[in-house]
Chains A and B, each alone.
Chain A
Amino acid sequence: MATQLLRRVLGSRSRQILSTTNPNPNLALPIARAFSSDITPITATLFPGDGIGPEIAESVKQVFRTAEVPVEWEEHYVGTEIDPRTQSFLTWESLESVRRNKVGLKGPMATPIGKGHRSLNLTLRKELNLYANVRPCYSLPGYKTRYDDVNLITIRENTEGEYSGLEHQVVRGVVESLKIITRQASLRVAEYAFHYAKTHGRERVSAIHKANIMQKTDGLFLKCCREVAEKYPEITYEEVVIDNCCMMLVKNPAAFDVLVMPNLYGDIISDLCAGLIGGLGLTPSCNIGEGGIALAEAVHGSAPDIAGKNLANPTALLLSSVTMLRHLELHDKADRIQNAILSTIAEGKYRTADLGGSSTTSDFTKAICDHL
């Protein structure tokens, strides 16, 4: 009853809010589908980013236009000076725009090594409270790597853990860095992991940890995962020590399904899985925040050496935008675009340089549009 009232009042927005924040998706889905004929365009924030960012963002816009996806882009760029309100190069307006639209797509942004200010990605995470990073890794048919049977999702806690950024020099030559694990954040990411597994029909969730050495911190993370696991008895839950996990991933990646882990391990394992399927140039990624915010991003670097030369591979950003569409429940459009991308790569005629071909970005994009 309350959902009906809510829907009438909020119109098209209710579909997004209901589908992302409702922990019981079975309730929201039939209601949302009834309204899928709604053609009010959804506004989404777009951060083209640095380096090859603007070119591949252009690719995404072109594909969306050809597929007639009802998304309107609101573009924001990284500033050239530090905004005092956010302590970084990202302006307050950009962040407000994401908070308003609840959905966004981000291109690659550069982080300098070892310098003073906060990393841009870290700023986004902290300000928007993006607590989970979801990276689906599946072997692309047609692009052969040494591993053909990868089909796993890595869900990484994104706010705390080893990347809290709290470091200090105790005395000269001795530095301490704090790793913080809280019950709240661990419960949040575990809930999302199991919810994701359920909605996407996944059977097993593995928690990755090093609780034999870091007994209290990873022990707390595991306790939270166990609590959430009890609420989902149909999903198998297991715990794997991280070094064992690395070895098993490298020998037999088909053994894993959904992986949930704290920040540092997540970073390393998700990049390892990206390596298994062909690299960061092909891996989609999506950050989930409080209040149903979803920021899909391309996780590769900004590749300044090929910027502006029309050589970049837009696959990662395109697949991330597909993840964004799935989050918005536009499943038919998402499937169409994903199939177009996969068949273009499988065909092998149009491939960018990093996949071993010689096409330009625009040729590749045109091929995908033709496949739609």
Chain B
Amino acid sequence: MSRRSLPFLKSLIQTRSVTYMPRPGDGSPRAVTLIPGDGIGPLVTNAVEQVMEAMHAPIYFEKYEVHGDMKRVPQQVLDSIRKNKVCLKGGLKTPVGGGVSSLNVQLRKELDLYAALVNCFNLPGLPTRHQNVDIVVIRENTEGEYSGLEHEVVPGVVESLKVITKFCSERIAKYAFEYAYLNYRKKVTAVHKANIMKLADGLFLESCREVATKYPSIKYNEIIVDNCCMQLVSKPEQFDVMVTPNLYGNLVSNTAAGIAGGTGVMPGAGNVGNEKVVEQKKANPVALLLSSAMMLRHLQFPSFADRLETAVKRVISEEKYRTKDLGGGCTTQQIVDAVIANLD
């Protein structure tokens, strides 16, 4: 087909637009590491596997068993992730107060996963108290308050170090602005508490400001974290992309997920779920399904991602199949079947 005839043919045929210009060999199946995890993890990752098969998506999973009470993440799992570059993970339960350092934190440190992205948006058909929510929270994931550097000074006095470095702050700021730029987002908000923690959060803000000057088309502003939470609860439509250090990001992303429908539904945010939900096999797989759509986009398979997201959104808007956290009573398997049925 010559170049000149393509627009002519397009106007004749009026078919779907081409979203992906493949290079030869792009369609061969890609390996993805899969870690089912604990609690509701195996249930929801199974859901994802089923849906991927039904879609004939060009990915295959390499499954590894990792549980929250292991001392370390096994070396072969890390090697596999480094080779495949993509991994889908169910929740890993961290024992509260115990001596074992969290496996999630270990994974982040070993693989230097520095950005955690949570996209919170209103799903049509899922009524929440807030409308017009479309927030992306980009959270620095390696340092800050969760460095894990604690020690007991004298009996009864414990210190924990919060470390902020210019390198990590710059990295996350660059990622946030790049994301905003590539996704045509208009505003980036930095969340901080620099009126109290002047040096630490001051350094974070400085890095954000420096990066902001390189993207003059994107609006940048700063907000103190307590005010931010209050605004999220009353006027969430004012936020677009938010970049935060570790702890604030944890809180803000969970709050944002909550106002948009809950962590059972929002991709990126997540928890392990409680015992009762596991036993009754009623966990909500929507969050992991939407996260796997994000993964497909990362792997450069946008049409598969679109199909998956459309199917999930259609199931939610129909309001027939809902798990307990959304007010219904379906099991995970029923939702999966509904999603597969809705794939066209």
Contact = CB atoms under 8 A, between A and B. Distances in A.
A247 B200 contact: no
A271 B258 contact: no
A115 B198 CA distance: 8
Interface residues of A, number: 65
Contact of B262 (A179, A251, A279): A251
A184 B94 CA distance: 27
B67 interface: no
A183 B199 contact: no
Contacts, number: 185
A264 B255 contact: no
A268 B95 CA distance: 25
B195 A162 contact: no
A247 B259 CA distance: 8
A298 B200 CA distance: 28
A151 interface: no
Given A179-B145, A182-B156, A250-B259, A243 B225 contact: no
Interface residues of B, number: 62
A280 interface: yes
Interface stretch (B48-56, B70-78, B161-169, B298-306): B161-169
Contacts of A269: 229
18 contacts: A146-B130, A162-B162, A175-B202, A178-B160, A179-B145, A179-B159, A179-B160, A179-B161, A180-B160, A212-B102, A220-B156, A243-B253, A247-B254, A247-B263, A265-B251, A268-B225, A268-B229, A279-B230
A181 interface: yes
A246 B97 contact: no
Interface stretch (A3-11, A166-174, A188-196, A330-338): A166-174
A184 B102 contact: no
B160 A173 contact: no
A163 to B, nearest CB: 5
Given A183-B156, A250-B255, A114 B197 contact: no
B317 interface: no
A113 B195 contact: yes
Contacts of A122: 196
Contacts of B156: 182-184, 220
Nearest to A274: B230
Contact of A174 (B166, B226, B257): B166
Interface in A261-276: 264-265, 267-272, 274-276
B129 A146 contact: yes
Interface in A222-279: 222, 239, 241-244, 246-251, 264-265, 267-272, 274-276, 278-279
Given A244-B254, A246-B258, A175 B151 contact: no
Contacts of A267: 193, 225-226
Contact of B251 (A212, A243, A248, A280): A243
Nearest to B225: A268
Given A119-B195, A179-B162, A216-B152, 16 more contacts: A167-B197, A167-B198, A173-B167, A173-B203, A174-B164, A175-B164, A183-B156, A212-B95, A214-B145, A215-B99, A217-B158, A217-B160, A243-B251, A246-B254, A247-B257, A279-B234
Contact of A268 (B96, B145, B251): B251
Interface of B: 94-99, 101-102, 105, 129-130, 145-146, 148, 150-152, 155-167, 193-200, 202-203, 225-227, 229-234, 247-248, 250-251, 253-255, 257-259, 262-263, 271
A178 B232 CA distance: 28
A167 B157 CA distance: 18
Contacts of A265: 251
A264 B168 CA distance: 22
A366 B31 CA distance: 72
A147 interface: yes
B192 to A, nearest CB: 9
Nearest to B163: A176
Interface in A105-123: 111-115, 119, 122
A167 B200 contact: yes
B234 A275 contact: yes
Q: Which of B148, B162, B253 has the most CB of A within 10 A?
A: B162
Nearest to B153: A180
Contacts of B230: 271-272, 274-275, 279-280
